[in-house]
Amino acid sequence: MIKAVYRWFDTRLGIGDTWMPMLRHPVPRELAGPLGWWYVFGSASMTLLLVQILTGIGLALTYVPSAGQAYESLLYLNYQQPWGWFLRSLHYWSGSAMVVMVLLHMTQVFWHAAYKYPRELTWCIGVGLLLCTLGMAFTGQVLRWDPDAYWGVGVGAAMAGRVPAAGPTIVDLLLGGPIIGADTLSRFFALHVFVIPGILLTLLAVHLWLVIKQGVSVPPQPGKIVDLLKYDAEYHEELRRGEPFLGEAMLKDVAVSALVVIVVVTIAALAGPKGPSAPPDPTLSGANPRPDWPFLWLFGLLSLSPPAAETAVILIMPIVLVLGLLAVPFISNRGERAPTRRPMAILLMIVIYAVLGVLSYMGQTSPWSPRMLAWSGDAVPVNLIKKMDESLSPVELQGAVVFQNKQCRNCHALEGIGGTRGPDLTTVGTRLTRDLLIDQVSNGTPGGGNMPAYGKQMSPTEMTALVDFLVSLRPAGTPAAITPSDRGTKNKGRLPNDASATTGPSAAK
């Protein structure tokens, strides 16, 4: 009976003569052995994609893609809809894992130079899939309609707005109107749910077709080179001794995919959903927008690139990066595949990951950002005011108040607490003289660098008090800084209220 039903469908669908041969396509024999563990990342990415599609459909049943209600529907998902929090959490963590897995897959292919002849196009389609995955990560972040999402779109618009001539038009097309609002969210919803998945699944179909058509690459061996004239015959010979994919080779894919899903589900259950942090109110003060982790490197780069080169970094660098990735198999599509014989390629890969890693770390810690609440939230450490048994003078104490009140702490730390855009000032009195301090505070960094000029932002008495306080910032018993020309003529050229400078507060007593 079951056989008869199968035969009925087989005659019509061609399971036996079309689909089974595809599933049983021969793969190199090594894949059934331990080397097969190298080949699991692509299928793990696909498994996570499946999780994304299923959880995404689930979320779409409840999520309201309207600027006025998206935030409320996210709260409803988090706190009221049974399992809503878990679906949101899983969608976020599985999406993050998918970015990781796609990168791992790409890294493995590069490591083993599997992109060489005849798999150049497979690599290029893979680059498209990477871009789609990152596109999903960005548009997905926007759907989490909170200040990070709102200002993330704002930053995207500001970047697109720098395109020569066409910038303003691109911004309008991106936002769907003059402000970030309902049209913007609807656009990103359409991109996230229809446009990018459509492109992604189409590219994936071609990618998989190429995997079957060109076959899976043999694990590389030093000295075994890709020769365009001989490769096809050699590979054909390899496959004659090969194994069907459906079997030992596929088991590893299944095992790793299952493991990845279990890990992702565990993380999702323990860590919970990401955000939404606050309503997307553009006038909410204290907003501190940060992108999701796949874009932290860009966030860091945008702060660290010199202003003169910034527009080029924003507009040209992405094109160069994508073209560079696409060019990989065309720069070298023959020769050695073993990583030990391709030191430059491997070095390049390590450098790229190191750069991305450092930029992401910088983006995460963002030492350039002012700590907006440090001036009112972080008090001056007591031991800077009361050293040993010596207290600061009233004017110096007043300077400490000026220091807090003028938001100096937002950029300058005391004993490591506070902003890190400018230097920590715990011992500035040992480094800068009174004159240098007055100059630095009044005029800031010349040419509008890191520090604003405070000359017009405070009164002369405030300035005197502040500089007195800064001069006092040095360890007990340490002399104040002096200019080289003052050396040997100790007390000359000093202001009268700097009498403690040469002896230090504790010695003076």
Partner 1 sequence: MTKTTEDRSELEVKPRRVFLKLLTALLGAIATAAIAIPGFGYLAAAVARRKEQPWISLGPVSAFPPGETRLKVIKPSDNPLAQPWDGITAQTGVYVRYLGRDESYQDQFNVFAINCTHLGCPVEWFPQSGLFMCPCHGGVYYENGDRASGPPPRGLYLCVWKVKQDANATEPHLFIQAPFLPTLQHTLTDKG
Is residue 370 near partner 1 by the rule CB under 8 A?
yes
Nearer to partner 1, 175 or 203 (CB): 175
Beta bridge partners of 243: 27
Binding mask 128-157 for partner 1 (x = CB under 8 A): ----------------------xx--xx-x
How many residues does this entry show for the chain?
Answer: 509
Q: Which of 27, 113, 411, 473 touches partner 1 (CB under 8 A)?
A: 411
At closest approach, how far in Å is the CB of 306 from partner 1? 9
Is residue 423 near partner 1 by the rule CB under 8 A?
no
Q: Which of 18, 365, 391, 445 touches partner 1 (CB under 8 A)?
A: 445
Residue whose tokens read 């969608």: 91
C-beta of residue 374 within 8 angstroms of C-beta of residue 309: no
Query: CA nearest 131: which of 311, 318, 350, 328?
Result: 318
φ/ψ (deg, to 5) at 335: 90, -155
Nearer to partner 1, 122 or 398 (CB): 398
C-beta of residue 95 within 8 angstroms of C-beta of residue 136: yes
Residues 68 and 290: their CA atoms lie apart, in Å, by 22
- Choices 77-85, 194-202, 323-331, 401-409 (CB under 8 A): range interacting with partner 1: 401-409
CA 416 and chain centroid, separation: 25
φ/ψ (deg, to 5) at 226: -85, 115
Q: Which of 368, 385, 393, 397 touches partner 1 (CB under 8 A)?
A: 368
Is residue 385 near partner 1 by the rule CB under 8 A?
no
Q: How far apart, in Å, do the first and last CA atoms of the chain sit?
A: 105
Q: Which of 80, 169, 202, 503 touches partner 1 (CB under 8 A)?
A: 169
Residues 50-89 that bind partner 1 (CB under 8 A): 66-71
Cα angle 406-410-415, degrees, rounded to a multiple of 5: 105
Q: Which of 273, 280, 399, 418 touches partner 1 (CB under 8 A)?
A: 280
Nearer to partner 1, 223 or 460 (CB): 460
Number of residues that bind partner 1 (CB under 8 A): 72
Identity of the amino acid at 358: V
Identity of the amino acid at 13: L
Residues 291-320 that bind partner 1 (CB under 8 A): 299, 302-303, 307, 310
Residues 173-232 that bind partner 1 (CB under 8 A): 173, 175-183, 185
Strands 243-244 and 386-387: unpaired
Where are the strands (E) in 140-287, listed by range?
243-244
Residues 506 and 392: their CA atoms lie apart, in Å, by 11
Residue 327 CB neighbours (<10 A): 12
At closest approach, how far in Å is the CB of 272 from partner 1? 24
Nearer to partner 1, 24 or 406 (CB): 406
Is residue 406 near partner 1 by the rule CB under 8 A?
yes
Nearer to partner 1, 280 or 505 (CB): 280
Is residue 377 near partner 1 by the rule CB under 8 A?
no
Q: Which of 405, 427, 430, 506 touches partner 1 (CB under 8 A)?
A: 405
Helix pair angle (84-111, 250-271), 10° resolution: 140
- Choices 172-180, 189-197, 216-224, 354-362 (CB under 8 A): range interacting with partner 1: 172-180
Q: What is the dihedral sign for C-alpha 237, 239, 243, 249?
A: positive
Residues 329-358 that bind partner 1 (CB under 8 A): none
Q: Which of 20, 195, 372, 482 touches partner 1 (CB under 8 A)?
A: 372
Q: Which of 1, 79, 270, 286 touches partner 1 (CB under 8 A)?
A: 286
Residue whose tokens read 């992604």: 200
Nearer to partner 1, 450 or 483 (CB): 450
